Structures are given as C-alpha cells and as structure tokens.
Amino acid sequence: MIHDQIDRLSLYTSLIPYASHIAQAFSEGDKAEALCEVKEIWGVTRPEAELKRETPEEAVELILLRSGEEAVYVSGEDAAKASRVHLLPGQFLAIYPGESYLMQGMTGDEPGPVEKWLCRLPCPPAFCHPQD
C-alpha cells in the first residue's frame, strides 16, 4: 500500500505503472489519457459493516480522490488487522495484489459524497511475480 498526495504520484513511477500519465490525466479530468482502465465513481460513503471487500489479483488498484473524504481499510492476509486510511481530496492510495481492502467508508457519523477515480494497472513484476 502507498498513500500520498496526487501531485507526488509521478515520483512512484517504478512502483505504479503510468503514474505520470495518470497524474496528468487526473489533473485535466481526461481519463482517456491515463493509459489504463479508469472507473469514475460518484458515490456516498457507508458504514464499515456495509462495505464490500475487494482483493486485486494481478493488478494494482489506484484510488485518486477528487472530492469528499473516505475511509479505506487495507489488510494483508489477516483481515482483522486492517489499517484505516483516511483519504482526503488530492490524495491517492495504491493497493497491491495480496492486499484486500474495503473502500468508501464513512469518516464521521454521517455518510458523505465522494468523487474519485479507480484505476486498474498492470502489476510490476517484482510485486506480482517475485523472483525466487
């Protein structure tokens, strides 16, 4: 997992494929220029008990938050030991294969709107296919 500011995304090019292109495309609002699969999401945060667990298999999942706030719960093999990430506008979160997550969680007592991109990227070989 990597959590940082979107304006620093290009610093992670060796760990996040197309990082520079994605950062530029996000700032321009043009998902066609991201060079990867992009899903634009406009939604509402929900209580943790209502969230659905996702686990990327052969891809890096990259969340870029444009507006709102959300809690993302990221864990390795033991889901009970999840780390809570408070994602704010202008931040990104990269999740790698083997890490499961619950996204779009509430950060306070009430649901709130969020607008974000969810990018699915090819996984760098060192993460998906480590050398023995």
CATH (domain of 101) = 2.60.120.370
Q: Are 94 and 60 in contact (CB under 8 A)?
A: yes
Q: Is residue 21 part of a domain?
A: no
Backbone angles phi, psi at 125, to 5 degrees: -50, -35
In a domain, 114, yes or no: yes
Tell the burial category of 105 from Cβ atoms under 10 Å away from its Cβ (0-12, 13-18, 19+). buried
Q: Tokens for 29?
A: 């609002």
- Residues of the chain scoring pLDDT < 70: 77-80, 126-132
- The confidence score (pLDDT) of residue 12 equals 93
At 80-115, the pLDDT tens digits run 688 999 999 999 999 988 888 999 999 999 999 999
- Per the CB < 8 A criterion, the answer to whether 102 and 82 are in contact is yes
Host domain of residue 76: 2-6+38-123
- d(CA 76, CA 99) in angstroms, rounded, equals 5
Q: Work out how many domains the chain is built from and give that number.
A: 1
